[in-house]
Amino acid sequence: MFEKIREKYLLNKTQIIEIDTLGNILNSDNRIFNLSGVGQIYDFHPFFYSIESLLSLKNCEQIFYCIHIEHLNVQKSVDVFFTNTESENPILILYDFTEHYTNFQHIAQEKNETVLNFHLEELKTKLLQAEKEFKNKFMANVGHDLKTPLGASLWFINMLEKTELTNSQREAVLLLKETNTLIKGLIDDILDLSKLELGKISLDENWENLSDIIKHIQSIITPKSNQNGLQFTVEFEQNQLPQFIYTDKVRLQQILINLLDNSIKFTRKGYVKLSVKNIEKQKDTAQLLFEVEDTGIGMKITNKNDIYNSFTKLHNQKNIEGSGLGLSIVSNLITLMQGDIHYVTQLNQGTTFSILLPFKTK
Amino acid sequence: MNNSKKIVLIGHFGVGKSSLVRRYVQNTFTDNYMVTIGVHIVKKEIQLNQKSITLIIWDIEGKDDIKKVRASYLIGTSGFIYVVDPTRPQTYEHITSEINFITTQYPKAKYLTVANKSDLIEPEEIKRLFDSLQIKIDYFASAKSGDEVSSVFENLAQQLLDNV
């Protein structure tokens, strides 16, 4: 019975080849590979060149693991045992471990791919960072180069404005001034964003009166919303809020004014609202929630974070100005202030931005 | 038997040893990574300056330490090609000691160092990188583009012929 089992399961997994010291094949049982008609072992497969130096050595044994051999369309992964005794011709024994090595190959493939993919992701991130840094440096340089002549141009326009002009000349000067101011705003945005992304902006924090900050914002936004026929309201529960917060007033105002400006730009009718709430009041700290809500056109969003990428414009309305830098600046400033920004939006219904910022208070 | 020489490619996994062999022998390339286990052996006969030589090329599985390579794979090696990936520092951080191991254990063997995947980095940058690390790289090759691949094998083959 054993012989039958051996014949069925083991014999076809091994092959014995007898050769002479010149590498000529003398005998082979051809259990794995058919070597009929093959003269020298080197003609069977180039692997066997490696035993050439062993043929002259007597009482020599050597095993070679996991050799992939293809012969007459038969592909196997074998271990090769070589023995050369005093009295016998050199013998080669091939053990077919194809199944075992194939399984091992799958495991190794998975393991190595994980390492290589991780490395690939690291490389991509590095490349993206390098590109971003280049873009920011480029923007900062161009921005600076543009700012000087533009400043001179605005100065001349201001001088021109003070001279005696006809009505049509004055209109032209006003238009010129508006355009220049718009460009200046855009350049300021570019410079701000490039500095933020390069980590070159630090906060200039001081103790500030929260109520004064909100009043200042109100004084800027109210005329703009009136001009657009919108109602602007502020919800500010003074008794629930700290009187003083430790913050960079200019940057906090920049964040809120930027969002409110956006709301006004994208709201045809209805209202724009700013609310300030105290979410978590401790003895010397507070988490304040600023919400900017509008009844505007809303946004059609495919990727929630896309809106914070620079130069992303979420509308195709040509009559609405904007570089697409505003939200990116806002998002970067909030990160710098260790806060969070979220939004909910519904197309043709409106958008609400929520900003949560931590402050030291007194 | 004619003049045959065994060449072994060594280096970490994923540096492109099999791709270099495939490019040289079959002039093909694929981006699909297929791990090598054990050894694949191919033969290529070439003519150099009217002399013929048969290269028996051993493409062995990648190891992060040459001492972990099965000794039987290196028996009778005439030439080594040590391959690194310039985008993965861990593939060349121990190259000096690895080369020392080769020259000590196989003093008669010739060797070349090759930075594969050089298409992924600017040529000047890659040279600056290895110069700054004081690592001698003989060839900046790319199995993908084919750049310098034949030169690697032919240079080593020429050294082996000169060594006869």
CATH number, residue A306: 3.30.565.10
CA count, 13 A, side-chain hemisphere, A202: 2
Whether residue A353 sits in one domain with residue A233: yes
Query: Which residues of chain A does B88 touch, with a Cβ-Cβ cutoff of 8 Å?
Result: 119
In a domain, A102, yes or no: no
Inter-chain touch A67–B13, beta carbons under 8 Å = no
Question: Structural domains in chain B?
Answer: 4-162 (3.40.50.300)
Locate the chain B residue with the closest alpha carbon to A22: B1
Inter-chain touch B38–A45, beta carbons under 8 Å = no
DSSP sequence for B31-90: SS-----SEEEEEEEEEETTEEEEEEEEEEPP-SSGGGS-HHHHTT--EEEEEE-TT-GG
At A254, the pLDDT band (50, 70, 90 cuts) reads very high
Of B1, B38, B70, the CB nearest to A77: B38
Q: How far is CA A311 from CA B10, B24, B98, in A?
A: 48, 47, 50
What tokens were used for A68?
């992939």
Residue A198, SS3 per DSSP: coil
Q: How far apart are CA A109 and CA A107, in angstroms?
A: 5
Q: Nearest CA to CA, how far is A193 from chain B (Å)?
A: 29
pLDDT of residue B1: 47
Residue A108, chain B, CB below 8 Å: the answer is yes
> Phi/psi at A333 (nearest 5 deg)?
-65, -40
ipTM of the complex: 0.91
Q: List Cβ<8 Å contacts ≥24 apart for A311-318.
A: A315/A266
Boundary of a domain, candidates A159, A180, A197 = A197
Boundary of a domain, candidates A177, A197, A217 = A197
In a domain, A18, yes or no: yes
pLDDT digits (tens, 9 = 90+) for B2-33: 689 999 999 999 999 999 999 999 999 988 88
CB B84 within 8 A of CB B115: yes
pLDDT digits (tens, 9 = 90+) for A161-215: 899 999 999 999 988 888 888 888 888 888 888 888 778 888 999 999 999 999 9
Which of A83-92, A143-152, A347-356, B134-143 has the least mean pLDDT?
A143-152
Query: Which residues of chain A does B22 touch, with a Cβ-Cβ cutoff of 8 Å?
Result: none
In a domain, A103, yes or no: no
Query: Which residues of chain A does B40 touch, with a Cβ-Cβ cutoff of 8 Å?
Result: 68
Inter-chain touch A45–B41, beta carbons under 8 Å = yes
Q: Cβ atoms within 10 A of the Cβ of A191, count? A: 19
The set of residues, in sequence order, having a beta carbon less than 8 Å from that of A340 and lying 6+ positions away, is: A334, A355, A356
Locate the chain A residue with the closest alpha carbon to B45: A46
pLDDT of residue A304: 61
Whether residue A220 sits in one domain with residue A87: no
pLDDT digits (tens, 9 = 90+) for B76-132: 999 999 999 999 999 999 999 999 999 999 999 999 999 999 998 888 888 898 999
pLDDT of residue B140: 95
Q: How far apart are CA A268 and CA A285, in angstroms?
A: 38
Whether residue A83 sits in one domain with residue A147: no
Q: Nearest CA to CA, how far is A50 from chain B (Å)?
A: 7
Whether residue A282 sits in one domain with residue A237: yes
pLDDT of residue A321: 57
| Selection from B77, B70, B71, B78 nearest residue B37 by Cα | B70
Look at chain A and report how many structural domains it folds into.
3
Q: How far apart are CA A116 and CA B88, in angstroms?
A: 9
In a domain, A334, yes or no: yes
Of B40, B42, B75, the CB nearest to A50: B75
Residue range A65-86: mean pLDDT, rounded: 94
Boundary of a domain, candidates A167, A197, A227 = A197
Question: How far from each other are the two terminal CA atoms of chain B, in whole angstroms?
Answer: 15
Q: How far is CA A188 from CA A181, A264, A298, A336, B159, in A?
A: 10, 20, 26, 18, 64
Q: Whole-number mean pLDDT of chain A?
A: 88
What one-letter code names the amino acid at A326?
Answer: G
Q: Nearest CA to CA, how far is A19 from chain B (Å)?
A: 15
DSSP sequence for A252-318: HHHHHHHHHHHHHHT-SSSEEEEEEEEEEE-SSEEEEEEEEEE-S-----SSTTGGGSTT------T
Which of A36-40, A339-343, B19-23, B64-68 has the least mean pLDDT?
B64-68
Whether residue A59 sits in one domain with residue A175: no
Of B33, B37, B43, the CB nearest to A66: B37
pTM: 0.63
In a domain, A42, yes or no: yes
Residue whose pair of structure tokens reads 């992060």 in the numeric block: B64
* Residues forming beta bridges with residue A26, ordered by sequence position: none
CB A92 within 8 A of CB A57: no
Inter-chain touch B14–A116, beta carbons under 8 Å = yes
Query: Which residues of chain A does B33 touch, with a Cβ-Cβ cutoff of 8 Å?
Result: 112-113, 116
Q: What angle do CA A211, A258, A230 make, to 5 degrees?
A: 80
Locate the chain A residue with the closest alpha carbon to B32: A113
Whether residue A132 sits in one domain with residue A166: yes
Length of chain B, in residues: 164
Whether residue A88 sits in one domain with residue A17: yes
Q: What angle do CA A264, A266, A271 make, to 5 degrees?
A: 50
Whether residue A70 sits in one domain with residue A9: yes
Whether residue A135 sits in one domain with residue A56: no
What one-letter code names the amino acid at A72?
Answer: L
In a domain, A101, yes or no: no
Whether residue A329 sits in one domain with residue A251: yes
CATH number, residue A139: 1.10.287.130
In a domain, A10, yes or no: yes
Angle, in degrees to the nearest 10, between helices A98-161 and A167-197 = 150
CB B45 within 8 A of CB B53: yes
CATH number, residue A59: 3.30.450.20
In a domain, A49, yes or no: yes
* Residues forming beta bridges with residue B80, ordered by sequence position: B8, B111
| Selection from A286, A202, A199 nearest residue A245 by Cα | A286
In chain A, the DSSP E strands lie at 14-19, 25-28, 60-71, 74-84, 91-96, 206-209, 231-236, 244-247, 271-281, 285-294, 340-346, 350-361
Q: Which of residues 50-79 of A touch B (CB under 8 A)?
A: 50, 52-54, 62-68, 77
Q: What angle do CA A162, A165, A166 make, to 5 degrees?
A: 155
Domain with A131 in it = 110-197
Whether residue A181 sits in one domain with residue A36: no
CB A274 within 8 A of CB A291: yes
- In chain A, % of residues over pLDDT 70: 93
Residue A118, chain B, CB below 8 Å: the answer is no
Whether residue A336 sits in one domain with residue A258: yes
Inter-chain touch A108–B35, beta carbons under 8 Å = yes
Interface test with chain B among A112, A119, A120, A125, by most B beta carbons within 10 Å: A112
